[in-house]
Chains A and B, each alone.
Chain A
Amino acid sequence: MKRIRNFCIIAHIDHGKSTLADRLLEFTKTVTQREMQAQLLDSMDLERERGITIKSHAIQMEYIYEGENYILNLIDTPGHVDFSYEVSRSIAACEGALLIVDASQGIEAQTISNLYLALEHDLEIIPVLNKIDLPGADPEMVKEQVVDLLGVNAEDVIYASGKEGLGIEEILNAIVRRIPPPTGDPEAPLQAMIFDSLFNSYRGVEVIFRVFNGQISKGDKVKFMNTGREYEADEVGILKLQHKPVDCVTTGNVGYLISGIKVAREVKVGDTITHVEKPTNQLVKGFEDVKPMVFAGIYPVETSEFEELRSSMEKLQLNDASLVWEPETSVALGFGFRCGFLGMLHMEIVQERLEREFDMTVITTVPSVQFRVNMTDGTLKMVSAPSEMPDPSKIDTIEEPYIKAQIITKSEYIGAVIALCMDKRGIIKNQHYLTVDRVELVFELPLSEIVFDFFDKLKTISRGYASLDYELIGFRESNMVKLDIMLNGEKVDALSAIVHRDKAYEWGKRLCEKLRELLPRQMFEIAIQAAIGTKVIARETVKAMRKNVLAKCYGGDISRKRKLLEKQKKGKKRMRAVGNVEIPQEAFMAVLKLDQ
C-alpha cells in the first residue's frame, strides 16, 4: 500500500491536461510508441476532436523511483462544469492532484473550483506550469498567482511542456515523493467507492472503483450500498491500458469490477461497494443522485424513425448514466422523448453521439430548466417543458432554479461581464482581485438564463478569457410566462418557451425575426406570431414565393430534372409541417442562436 499513489489532474480546458497525461504514460512505458495516439485517455472521437474530456478515465502506471517499484493510478477527470459531480468523485478517490496551469493563460474559474474541491478532500497539490515552451508564456507571473493561491513555496512549482516532454520525470518524482500513500485498513470490512463506469458491449458494465478499506476478490458477493443491489464479482482487475484481471484488488488501489450489469444506470457514481457478508457500516461521504439540470425534447426528423431513435437512446444510455428520458408527444413533431441533461454541453454531446454513433438525425427542441409551480389549490407541480405549464389561472406562483456563478476574467472585461450578467437578471455578490489584472466575480443568476447562449457570449465579450463555474443554490420566485409561437395561426408547441415576463417581448420579437430568416418561402404567405396566452406580442411575415425557376424540359433533361425535383422533395422531408407550413430542422434550434 505504501507504494501506491492515487492522483488526478485538475486543469482548465485547453491547458494541456490530456497531452501531459499522454507523456506520463509514455515515460512510464505504460503505452508503447506504437500504441500511442494523441489524447490517449479521451477514447471517444468526440473528445479527441473537441480536445475535451467528457468521461472520466483511469489508468495504472508503474514507475521505479530510487530502486523501488511504485504503482501510480492516474484518475483523469472530465473538464466541463456539466460534469462537476463526476469530478468531485474522482477527487474523492485520490490522495493528490496535479494542478496544471497554462503558463500563458493563468488560472481559470473551473480550475479554482476544482482546486477548492481537492483542498476540501485534503489532497496534496502539485502545481505544474504547462506549455512553458510557448512564446506567450509568462511562467514567473503565473507562478506568482499559483503561489498566492495555494500558499506553496515557489520552488515546489514544476515547469513542464506536454508537447515537448519537458518536466515529465520531475512530475513523476514529485508524485511519488509528495503525494502520501493511501491509508486504510486491509483487515476492515470492504469499503470501496465507485467513481466511474464503462460500458463494453461484450462484457456489460465495468465498474471503476477505489478501495478505501478491506479488499475485493474475484467471486466475492458484493453489495452497492446506495442502490441496495447485490452482485457477484465475476472478474476484478486493474486498469492497465488493457484491463488486466487479478485475483484481488487490495486496499488503497484502483480497479474494475465486472458482474453482469447490463445497464449503466444501475451503477451510481459515488456509491459504496461492500461485501454482502461482513458489510462496512461506513458509507463513503458525498454520494449524490445526480439530477438533470436542462431538459429538451429529442425527436426523429423522420417520424417513422421513432422506434429506431428509442433503441439508439437505450444504447446510448448504456454508457451515459446521467442521461434520462421519457417518451413525449408534440403536435408539431410527433413522437419523441423528453430528455434531461446535466447541462448544455451534455445535451450537445448526446445529440452529436446520436448522429455519429447511431446515424440518427434528430430535432432538439428549446431547452428548459425545471420550474416549481405552486398551484392555487396548494399543490406543487414540477414543470420542465412548456407544454406541462398549467393554465395561468391555476398558478399561484412560479419558482425557478438559481445558481451561484463564479466568473474569472481579465480586469479589462469586468464592465462587459457585469453588463452581461445584469442583462441575464443576475445579481452581483462579490468581486475579488486574484492578481492585479485577474478578477473573480460572483453572481447569482437564474439557471434558465445561462442554458441558452450565456457561455458563448461570455467568451465573446472577454475575447475567450473569461471562465465560468456554477452550482445550484435553490429556487426563487419569478414572474415567468409561457411564450407561444404560431405559424399561420397554428401553435407550434415545439417552439414554445418559458421566459421571464420582462424579457418576453424581446424574446418573441427576436425569435420571430429569426424564424423569418429560416423558414423557406412557400406558395403562400406565412404569418409568424409570438403570443402570451391570446395576446400577440410580435409578428413577422414570410412573403409567398412568386415563381419556380421553370427550366425547359426536353428529352435529355427529363431524368436530370426529375432527380433535381426528387432531391428537393427529399430536402423537404427533413422539414416538419405544422398546418401547411414547412419548418426546417434548424428552426427548432433557432432559439439558441437568437443573437447570431
Chain B
Amino acid sequence: MAGIYVHIPFCKQACYYCDFHFSTTRHLQEDMVRAIAREAELQKHFLHGESVETLYFGGGTPSILELPQLERILQSIDQHFSIQANAEITLEANPEDLSAEKLRGLKAMGVNRLSIGTQSFNDEFLHWLNRVHDSGKAISAIENSRKAGFENLSIDLIFAIPHADHSIWHKDVAMAVELAPDHLSAYHLTVEPNTVFGNWLKKRKIDIADDQFAAEQFEYLYEQMLLSGYDAYEISNYARNGRISRHNSSYWFHKPYLGLGPGAHSFNGIKRQHNIYNNPKYIKAIETEKIPMVEEILSPADLANEIIMTGLRTKWGLKPGLILEKSGYEVMEIHAVRIEELIYEGMLLLENGNLILSRKGRLFADTIAAELFIAG
C-alpha cells in the first residue's frame, strides 16, 4: 500500500514563516495543472502497481486551484493508479477559499478530508504571520465544511508565537477544543533562514520565544487535548475518533509514496527523490517528458536514522524490529547503555519491546533521536 502527494506550488501571499516551495505569481497555474496531470502519467510505474491508500494535496495552497483544475489532476491520478475505495483523500485549504460552492465541488470529486490552515484564532497574530484570513473566516470555514458533509477535518495551530504571556495561546486552544475537529496539528513557530521572519531575526526586528515559554505552551496543549478526548499520536498531531492522518502516518511508517509537482518528494523504500523547486523549469521538463528530479540513495544507516527519528515522534515509538528489518542495525544493542540511561532518566519508556518517549521525553525528541542515531 502506498500514498501519493501532490504539491500545488501557489499562494495568494507569502506567510512570513513559511519556507515551503510556492510562488505568488500565478499565471502558470493552468500550465502547472497540465504538467502535474502529465507527471502522474509519466510516473505511473513508480509505485509498481501498489494500490493507493492515501492521496494528499499539499502546498502551497491547493485550495487556490479552481475545481476543474483539481478535477483534472485527480482524474489523471485515478486513471494511472489504483486508488482504494476507502482511500483517504486530503486537501489542504485556506479558510478564505472554502466557499459553499467550492466545498460542494470538493466533496463531489471525492475529497473526504480537509486540513484547514487556521494557525491561530487571534486576528493580530494572523496579521503578524501575514495570513490572508481572519478568525471569523476560519470559524465559518469549519462550520461550512461540516455543512457540506466533511466530517474528517483537521486544523493547524502555531504555538510559541512571541507574546508577553500565554493568554492568547490559551484562547486558541480553547477555541480549537470548542470547534472540536477530529484532528489537530500544532507547530512550534520555527524561524527558517529564507523567510521574512528569518530576515527579520537576522536584523533583530523580531525575537523568538525562549524554550521555557514554548515548553509551557506545548505542555498546556498536550494536557488540554488529552482532557478533551484527543490522542497525542505524534509530537505535533492529535486525533479523536481514530481519525489520525493516514497519509502522514505512512511517512512515519516508511511506506512508499510518490510526490507529484515541483518540490514534491517521493520514496520507494530505498531512495528518496524530489522534483526541482522551480515552477517554470518543472513545467518545461515535464513537457519534454522528463522528471526533473534529484535523487538520494539512503544508506542502511540513513534509513535506520529516519525510522528512529520519525518513529520516536509517534505514540507507537521506535520499533527495533522494523529498524532491523529495513536496515540490519540492532539499535537496542548499539545503544544499550544510553537507552538504559534514558529510561532511568525518565525520557524513554520500554513497552512491548518498543521505545516510546515519556511525557518529559517528548520535549526532547530531537536530542534523543540524535543520540540514538547510528553512525554511518
Contacts and interface: CB of A to CB of B under 8 A. Distances in A.
A553 B370 contact: no
A549 B370 contact: no
B309 A565 contact: yes
Nearest to B190: A551
B265 A548 contact: no
B282 interface: no
B212 interface: yes
Interface stretch (B42-50, B194-202, B361-369): B361-369
Interface stretch (B104-112, B167-175, B223-231, B256-264): B256-264
Given A546-B212, A558-B272, A566-B305, A553 B313 contact: yes
Contacts of B274: 556
B345 A552 contact: no
Interface string A556-581: 10110110011011001000000010
Contacts of A547: 211-212, 214-215, 218, 363-364
A569 B212 CA distance: 23
B364 A555 contact: no
A88 to B, nearest CB: 52
Q: Which of A547, A552, A554 has the most CB of B within 10 A?
A: A547
Contacts of A568: 366, 370
A433 interface: no
Nearest to B366: A548
Interface string B265-291: 101000010100000000000000000
A559 B272 contact: yes
Contact of A554 (B248, B302, B306, B309): B248
Contact of A555 (B5, B218, B235, B347): B5
Interface in A66-90: none
Contacts of A546: 211-212, 214-215, 363
A550 B188 contact: yes
A569 B259 contact: no
A455 interface: no
B190 A549 contact: yes
A546 B185 CA distance: 21
Interface residues of A, number: 24
Nearest to B58: A554
B306 A562 contact: yes
B29 interface: no
B259 A555 contact: yes
A569 B375 CA distance: 10
Nearest to B235: A550
Given A523-B345, A565-B309, A555 B251 contact: yes
A559 B259 CA distance: 14
B341 interface: yes
Interface in A518-570: 523-524, 545-556, 558-559, 561-562, 565-566, 568-569
Interface in B340-376: 341, 345, 347, 363-367, 369-371, 373
Contact of B257 (A523, A524, A555, A569): A555
Contacts of A523: 345, 347, 364, 367
Contact of A562 (B211, B305, B345, B367): B305
A566 B347 contact: no
A572 B298 CA distance: 23
Contacts of B305: 562, 565-566
Given A546-B212, A561-B309, A566-B305, A552 B367 contact: no
A553 B188 contact: no
A580 B363 contact: no
Contacts of B341: 580
B235 A559 contact: no
Interface in B193-251: 211-212, 214-215, 218, 235-236, 248, 251
Contact of B236 (A548, A550, A555): A550
Nearest to A545: B211
A496 B164 CA distance: 43
Contact of A548 (B296, B306, B367): B367
A553 B305 CA distance: 14
A558 to B, nearest CB: 5
A552 B187 contact: yes
B163 to A, nearest CB: 17
Given A549-B211, A558-B309, 8 more contacts: A546-B215, A549-B366, A550-B236, A551-B188, A553-B310, A554-B58, A555-B5, A562-B309
Interface of B: 5, 20, 58, 185, 187-188, 190, 211-212, 214-215, 218, 235-236, 248, 251-252, 257, 259, 263-265, 267, 272, 274, 296, 298, 302, 305-306, 309-310, 313, 341, 345, 347, 363-367, 369-371, 373
Interface of A: 523-524, 545-556, 558-559, 561-562, 565-566, 568-569, 572, 580
Kindly list the 6 A-B residue pairs having the minimum CB-CB distance in the complex, ordered from nearest: A547-B215, A546-B215, A548-B366, A556-B265, A546-B211, A547-B363
19 contacts: A548-B211, A548-B364, A548-B365, A549-B214, A553-B252, A553-B309, A554-B58, A554-B251, A555-B251, A555-B265, A556-B265, A558-B251, A558-B306, A558-B310, A559-B265, A559-B296, A561-B309, A566-B373, A569-B370
